[in-house]
Structure 1
């Protein structure tokens, strides 16, 4: 007798851990409650070591903890900091300083491992810079040097029927090449990237977006989110309001209800 199929497992990943107290508080709360299953860490900020200590206090196996490669907010070498548009342009024009980019990627891996006492479970990029030329070459070099065959990469492929231009634009900036290079090296990559929107929704709108993403979700996909509590956010954070709205929804009973309605469960990444 065959049983009913179980729920589809979806990785729910909070980006920007260590960016500010409100982000960190949201990660720790939602992870402890089983509302999310991964977080990606920004290691170039002065508060990273203390934030890492709080993250280590979670029960083992609670979430995947990854490296959020960053060149647009707070790289360790501050002279490499760049606006996103300029960074993308330089990457595709072959104008990025490859040796300095490689050194920065290595330093961010080191900073993660020194604070967490282990390698990252996964790697992605702040504003998806991990998929760009030069950066992705340095990323694969470090994964090989460190023997990180079991760490997974976050893909940027847009789901079919995903509304709006933004998901497709993100994917077109290097997602297919990242996936091909990872496949040649035996490195697992997540499926489609859900959670892309303009950070302009109110609570009702965000619930509606979540419902749509959950309906389109497949095993191995990642739902990216950016919640924060009100403990404080960095000065000038352009998505501060959206972070609070996301937290309000993900912390409410609406979130498990949406998951149940869609037949989806929050889970950690399992390579296909």
Structure 2
């Protein structure tokens, strides 16, 4: 390491609870000090079975709720959003959000009820409330959904929220999945304003978006995600070990293995040392 002060970074793995192989990969990386947060899909069947093993690592990483309103069966009845017992795909949910459909009182109530159920399922298995809230496929940024998230955070003192915006110039310099990154960041303007107005703790920089197509090795992407980091930066990753449970519920399979292999390997350790980056939980980021 150099003699100058190190740069802190929050490295967050999404989708804990989705499948046993995802759970195992995330736990291993936390144990190795290669992750400092993980986001839990508490409505998935592998959350409760994975909570005990994750609890053995308590204190090594922030553990938050990955609020989910797409593709999975909800924890309770949702006759408007999930009439057939399965939450809608992302495109449909976004359409509803921006056409005002989610503003209907019954739809708003369903979102709040499901979020309460997911927080309760998290807390029941974990033994404590979530350290933070974010959203699967970034749905926590959508109109109406973001209001429910902010209200939930008001009842979770000290909990933070993940913001997904970056300066446009930084996105363009990186040159990775530029349209997708700008879209995700652009969706978060309303949540960012809400966070500032209500004094909710949050990161102020975000990275980790790419197309998952495998056209560029993850080893080429991570250095770009770390370019120019500073302040309260959060980088999102999706490591996992492919298994049949994962293949049944998700199309993102082999890229998870590639991320896992890289994050646990010597190349990532060398990158952190060369850049003088220190992985930390949210409490270790500058205020």
TM-score normalised by structure 2 residue count: 0.87
In structure 2, the residue matched to 1:152 is: 160
Q: Distance in 2 between matches of 1:62 and 1:49?
A: 19
2:183 corresponds to 1:169: yes
In structure 2, the residue matched to 1:99 is: 109
The structural deviation recorded for 1:168 is: 0.7
| Contact 1:19/1:234, CA 8 A, preserved across alignment | no
In structure 1, the residue matched to 2:227 is: 215
| Contact 1:153/1:189, CA 8 A, preserved across alignment | yes
1:65-144 matches, within 5 Å, as: 65-74=63-72, 75-77=74-76, 79=78, 80=82, 81-96=87-102, 97-144=107-154
Q: For residues 29-86 of structure 1, what are the alpha-carbon distances to aligned partners after superposition, in whole Å with 9 as ceiling and x for unaligned?
A: 000000010000001112221111121121x310000000001132323743011011
The structural deviation recorded for 1:207 is: 0.9
Q: Distance in 2 between matches of 1:244 and 1:61?
A: 25
Secondary structure in structure 2 of the residue aligned to 1:161: helix
Q: Distance in 1 between matches of 2:206 and 2:77?
A: 29
The structural deviation recorded for 1:237 is: 2.2
2:54 corresponds to 1:42: no
In structure 2, the residue matched to 1:195 is: 208
Unaligned runs of 5+ in 2: none
Runs of 4+, deviation exceeding 4 Å: none
In structure 2, the residue matched to 1:265 is: 278
Secondary structure in structure 1 of the residue aligned to 2:101: coil
Q: Distance in 1 between matches of 2:209 and 2:144?
A: 24
In structure 2, the residue matched to 1:19 is: 18
| Contact 2:153/2:160, CA 8 A, preserved across alignment | no
Unaligned runs of 5+ in 1: none
Q: For residues 186-225 of structure 1, what are the alpha-carbon distances to aligned partners after superposition, in whole Å with 9 as ceiling and x for unaligned?
A: 11111222110001236x7211110111123223111100
In structure 2, the residue matched to 1:206 is: 218
The structural deviation recorded for 1:264 is: 1.2
Q: Distance in 1 between matches of 2:186 and 2:205?
A: 13
Secondary structure in structure 2 of the residue aligned to 1:200: coil
Q: Distance in 2 between matches of 1:139 and 1:260?
A: 36
Q: For residues 219-249 of structure 1, what are the alpha-carbon distances to aligned partners after superposition, in whole Å with 9 as ceiling and x for unaligned?
A: 3111100011245424152210100111111
Q: Distance in 1 between matches of 2:242 and 2:100?
A: 41
Q: Distance in 2 between matches of 1:211 and 1:141?
A: 36
* CA pair 261-228 structure 1, distance change in 2 beyond 3 A: same
Give the RMSD, CA atoms, in angstroms: 1.7
TM-score normalised by structure 1 residue count: 0.92
Q: Distance in 1 between matches of 2:233 and 2:214?
A: 22
Q: Distance in 1 between matches of 2:255 and 2:89?
A: 21
